[in-house]
Amino acid sequence: MFPKNAWYVACTRNEFADKPLGRTICGEQVVFFCDAEGQVAAVEDFCPHRGAPLSLGFVRDGRLVCGYHGLVMGRDGKTCSMPCQRVQGFPAIRTYPVVERYGFVWIWVGDKGLADPAKIHHLPWAESSEWAYGGGLYHINCDYRLMIDNLMDLTHETYVHATSIGQQEIEDAVPATKVEGETVITSRRMHGIMPPPFWAAALRYNDLADDLPCDRWQICRFYPPSHVLIDVGVAHAGKGGYDADPRHKASSIVVDFVTPETETTHWYFWGMARNFKPNDLELTERIREGQGRIFSEDREMLERQQRNISAHPQRQLLKLNIDAGGVQARRIIDRAIASERATPPTP
């Protein structure tokens, strides 16, 4: 159901600052910790002695200590020691390639021989001092592909987010979808409309009038295996819309890293990157809180949707033209899965 030969966002370093972090990624139970050099390590969350989760232990001198009987495990998956026992002959447990980049820990849960860090999607805004980022993490009880569908079709904003970013003009604007290689792009553009509450506030944050007609855009980009980045914003009408000078617009990138946990649950790393007032930490937190409330509305809808689908597995979901972005994204995911199944693992 999910490609494994790909880089997924697994966590952030602060999640295991005090103790090991156990997390299931694409069905793989993994424990994250820092070794003696401060480098991130990821191994199977399974003690070879009695099968206890290593994430219930602690880190000492850069090694995992099992919280059940004190077995000590290195980042290479090999048993180092255990009080009063000879354990060096224990078989090694699985290790996973990990890379710390852009403030996230990325993991490769598939064929380790294919884990090239150069395949991690480049995020220019994360390397620029002219941009600020704020975000969070939700655990969502639904198939990760339902979240991708949700992000690639923003028609639902009119209804699910009626008090923040939704407005009638969204569903009145016909979306356009195209595929460029392995990237799916769905875009909507609205002209001469009044900004909804969230974007009216963003205009004020950027010292712009919030009571003038605006041009609004939503450009959703899906990148495999499951990332969606959305260019969003408003500009005073007649100033060029998406291409307007920064003096006349408020814009940002909605960042969505969707990481499968199981077939019906996933980790949702959400956030927003903006290129106005990047050093205003209070503004970053204010936007983050507002965005968090918006995404919590998505969570409720998607989890209830999953319950319905699970209760009626025989029913087929219908597709409309607004679903084109999600449909094309699923085709790319399906091709990746089929390719993995047809390719023998690297020796």
pLDDT at 271: 96
Q: What is the dihedral of CA 338, 342, 343, 344, to 10 degrees?
A: 130
Residues 112-118 have a mean pLDDT of 96
- Model confidence over 247-294: pLDDT tens digits? 999 999 999 999 999 999 999 999 999 998 999 999 999 999 999 999
Q: Is 156 helix (H, G, I), strand (E, B) or coil?
A: helix
* Four-way CATH pick for 7-118: 3.30.70.1450, 3.40.640.10, 2.102.10.10, 3.40.1010.10: 2.102.10.10
* Domain layout of the chain by residue ranges: 7-118, 124-340
Q: Round the average pLDDT of the chain to a whole number and report it.
A: 94
- pLDDT (tens digit, 9 = 90+) per residue, 15-36? 999 999 999 999 999 999 999 9
- pLDDT band of residue 88 (cuts 50, 70, 90) is confident
Whether the predicted pLDDT of 186 surpasses 80: yes
Question: How far are the Cα atoms of 19, 46, 72, 135, 222 from residue 22, in angstroms, in the given order?
Answer: 10, 10, 16, 21, 28
* pLDDT beyond 70 at 87: no
Q: Give per-residue pLDDT as tens, 295-341.
A: 999 999 999 999 999 999 999 988 888 999 999 999 999 999 999 99
Nearest to 261 by CA among 150, 107, 39: 107
Q: Does domain 124-340 have CATH number 3.40.50.720?
A: no
Q: Which amino acid is at 334?
A: D
Tokens linked to 136: 């969070």
Task: Determine the 3-state secondary structure of 319 from DSSP.
Answer: coil
The whole-angstrom separation of Cα 203 and Cα 140 is: 31
